[in-house]
Structure 1
Amino acid sequence: MPDVEQSLREQLLACHLPGLDLPLSLVGAVEKVSVSASSADAEVALHFAARSRLGNFEETLLGLMRSATGLDKCKLTLKTDIHATAAVGETQNLERVKNVIAVASGKGGVGKSTTSVNLALALAAEGAKVGILDADIYGPSQQLMLGVKEGQRPEQYGTHYLKPIVAHGLQSMSMGYLVTEKTPMVWRGPMASGALQQLLYQTYWDDLDYLVIDMPPGTGDIQLTLSQKVPVTGSVIVTTPQDIALLDAKKGIEMFQKVDVPVLGIVENMSVHVCTNCGHAEHLFGENGGEKIAADYKVPMLGALPLTLKIREQADKGLPVVAEAPESETAMIYREVAVRLGAELARRQASGANKAFPNIVIKND
């Protein structure tokens, strides 16, 4: 029944997945459709990790199949197939890494490192294979946040590589693994940039769907090195609702736009404080700042995290909230951010919106 099958395929591709407001054609593919007089079968591949949403997606797509064919006996197979982003220009692809996501902020103190580790854990919880690189050469913090004991060193792999340290299921690498916490990195910019490249290219990443890079704050040497030398798939900007943080977040967005790295979305930390005693909610640092920036720059608002003592305490103990309390409300917010991020990345790959920047050009404008 070729006409029925073609019609069903087209309707599946046009179907908007619940909670994403995106058609399947932009974030996945219909790999197989077969319709007989008594049954219909379809195989669908999602180009992003969404384990927590599969039930909702399946219910929606099966309902469409029954409606389109008039058959009750319908079978749907859903799988995840995350695509790689190719290097463009002078950037060099990372072996065994499909996508590189930079998590950045214009200033320190907005929870960027906490967001990085929980976002990486959330992507893994959704079914992706994930690594995290601590790119803050001067002040690495992921060793503490992942609960890696001081003195634990990466093992050598072959003659040129170091094996990442696995913590909470994440492959990780940090300058903190190579020096003690009392050793200051008194390096000029080029030395720090060189160290970053070594950590990136001389770590034996094991077939990652996503490598999350926890960037240092600001818009300096490390950010430019990453843009010039690494095929960054996209960036996530972390901010708080506070006016000064929003101002610096805008600078971060402008920087990535100048070097042609797509901004995949905004994450707002400390958006609201809920009193643990009375339940009163108060916006201590302002309200809706992240949404305003997202609207101004036409990028997705991925999510807003509350200001809670538990997030800080768990990170300091080496037990990030997504790992320690995976069913908690906060962990669910991080997983929602991860699904939206993955879908936005898939959408950009489908539309050809991702491209890496070959050269940095300084202009007076």
Structure 2
Amino acid sequence: MPSLSESVRAALATVIDPEIRRPITDLGMVRSVDITESPAGAVVTVGIDLTTAGCPLKDTITKDTTAAVRAIDGVAEVVVAMGVMSAEQRSELRSMLRGGEPEPVIPFTQPGNLTRVYAIASGKGGVGKSSVTANLAAAMAADGLSVGVVDADVYGFSLPRMLGVDRPPTKVDDMILPPIAHGVKVISIGMFVPSGQPVVWRGPMLHRALQQFLADVFWGDLDVLLLDLPPGTGDIAISVAQLLPNSELVVVTTPQVAAAEVAERAGSIATQTRQHVVGVVENMSWMDQPDGTRLEIFGSGGGSVVAANLSTLVGAPVPLLAQVPLDVALREAGDEGTPVVLRDPDSPAGQALRGLATSLAKRSRGLAGRPLGLSPVTS
């Protein structure tokens, strides 16, 4: 039978750091375990070192630790004594989280990495690209996938609100721990600038910001990474192709002819960057009426036209992946910070977006950058 000390250690191994999503024992956060016997039972004092003094989830760790240890037979009281990691401890933690790499690297470009990377693009603003991104992320996470989102629309960031992110990232020296909302890890420039302040940056600064979001943020083992790109074919779109050559494009448009023509340009960048275009999403396709008819406010056919023209342009099939109807629930959910796929999954938009998320999640990653396990044969 294990001793009480062993039982306490085993219980602590079930306490998960809410930011890093690993047991606190694996992260070197448990400083000490002291047990004092009393007539009423054992008093267990657990010393925990936080990554930073201002850890926003300190109360969560305290509550989870107390609950895990208090459930052990014979424990009458649990005391959690919080401390802060030393510089050496933080250095060891960063190295461990980076897989032994001393300096930041973009994990999604490393050999053997299986993360599917989707860049959500559009030709113009206002077509609902960010809404599609937020709902895809939430739906995939709800289906059990590990999902990360980079709000790469530096000038028009909106994902923190749409996903209900209510706190800034935590920094462990030069490593950033992204906030988690609805099971999705999220990073955005909006978390680093005062409310209402514009971001006035040129190309090199945009490239560096994206590079930091990919390399300096601790993403962990992701199944899917989504990037919400700014509209058009500017600096960020080019930087994504350079930094994430294995990324694939999902083009968002509306049925309107003018929007569709512009959307083709966003997809056509793949001919220069050699990215794969996964398909087209037509947003705001129609509005369902009480009598069962559909009101096509922005016309019809734009998504199909974009898909057909891109197929010709890139020389490979580019399907129309989904048509998402205009839905008040979609707008309300985005404003409230709970994506419609969670808040109202059976709504017309919720159903369309959940179906899109399922189809993208089932796609396997291509072979680019992956080892094939082959050895050359010499004669």
TM-score of the superposed pair, with normalisation by structure 1: 0.66
Deviation string 1:222-255 (CA, Å, 9 cap, x unpaired) is 1111111223431100000101110111101110
- CA spacing shift, 1:97–1:134, aligned 2, 3 Å: farther
Which residue in 2 is equivalent to 1:155?
A: 170
Asked if 1:241 corresponds to 2:255, the answer is: yes
Q: Check 1:273–1:329 CA distance in 2 against 1; reply closer, same or farther (3 A cut).
A: closer
Counterpart CA distance in 2 for 1:208 and 1:265 is 22
Q: Indicate the residue corresponding to 1:200 in structure 2.
A: 214
**Matched residue type, 2:115:** K
Which letter does structure 2 place at the counterpart of 1:238?
Answer: V
Shift of 1:307: 0.9
* 1:307-346 pair list within 5 angstroms: 307-343=326-362, 345-346=363-364
The equivalent residue for 1:144 is 161
Equivalenced residues, count:
257
Question: Greater shift after overlay, 328-337 or 172-181?
Answer: 328-337
Aligned to 1:306: 325
Corresponding residue for residue 129 of structure 2: 112
Match of 2:269, SS state, is: helix
Deviates more, 1:247-256 or 1:117-126: 117-126
Say yes or no: does 1:267 pair with 2:286: no
Question: 1:278: how far off?
Answer: 4.0
Out of 226, 238, 248, the residue aligned to residue 240 of structure 2 is 226
d(CA) in 2 for partners of 1:286, 1:303: 16
Deviation track 1:244-301 (CA, whole Å, cap 9, x = no partner) reads 11011110111022201101111100101123x4443111112122123223312121
Contact 2:329/2:347 (8 A) holds in 1: no
Counterpart code for 2:223: D
Q: Which amino acid in the other structure matches residue 217 of structure 1?
A: P
Q: Calculate percent identity across the aligned residue pairs.
A: 41
1:330, distance to aligned residue in structure 2 (A): 2.5
| Corresponding residue to 2:148 among 131, 138, 141 | 131
Q: Which runs of 5+ in 2 are unaligned?
A: 1-104, 312-316, 371-379
Deviation, 1:355, is 6.9
User: Is 2:183 aligned against 1:166?
Assistant: no
- For residue 251 of structure 1, the aligned residue among 251, 265, 278 is 265
Where 1:208 maps in the other structure, the secondary structure is coil
Contact 1:93 1:231 in 2 (8 A): no
Q: Which protein shows a greater Rg?
A: 2
Q: TM-score, normalised by structure 2?
A: 0.64
**Greater relative contact order (CA < 8 Å, ≥ 6 in sequence):** 1
Cα RMSD after superposing both structures: 2.1
CA contact (8 A) 2:106 2:214 kept: no
Q: Secondary structure at the match of 2:120?
A: strand
Amino acid at match of 1:155: T
